[in-house]
């Protein structure tokens, strides 16, 4: 598959990194690993999944905002997957043409 040039909606990367920090445990001994890379025509944000024990449940508003931005801009939907030890979001690159 040919890689396309393009962009992703503003602030999406920031929201995903903030969510990773907000919802996961991290320490000097066990730092939180957040990886950002390109995979074909997606920007992938992948982090360790070590949820913070809390009485409140996440509203998911950050992911809802990202999905809404994509629907408005290009009718594509980000891929979001929670695995046993990893949380992955794939943001489609929006073609410049």
Token pair for residue 68?
């809404």
Give pLDDT tens digits for 82-94: 999 999 999 999 9
pTM of the prediction?
0.89
**Residue 1 neighbours by CB under 8 Å, 6+ apart:** 40, 41
Q: For residues 46 and 89, what is the distance between their CA atoms, to the nearest angstrom?
A: 6
Give pLDDT tens digits for 26-66: 999 999 999 999 999 999 999 999 998 876 677 888 899 99
């Amino acid at each position: 598959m040919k890689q396309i040039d393009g962009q992703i909606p503003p602030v999406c990367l920031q929201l995903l990194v903030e969510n990773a920090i907000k919802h996961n445990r991290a320490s000097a001994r066990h730092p939180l690993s957040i990886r950002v890379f390109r995979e074909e025509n997606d920007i992938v944000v992948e982090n360790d999944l070590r949820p913070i024990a809390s009485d409140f449940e996440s509203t998911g508003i950050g992911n809802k905002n990202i999905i809404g931005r994509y629907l408005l801009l290009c009718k594509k939907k980000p891929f979001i997957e929670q695995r046993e030890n990893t949380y992955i979001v794939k943001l489609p690159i929006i073609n410049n043409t």
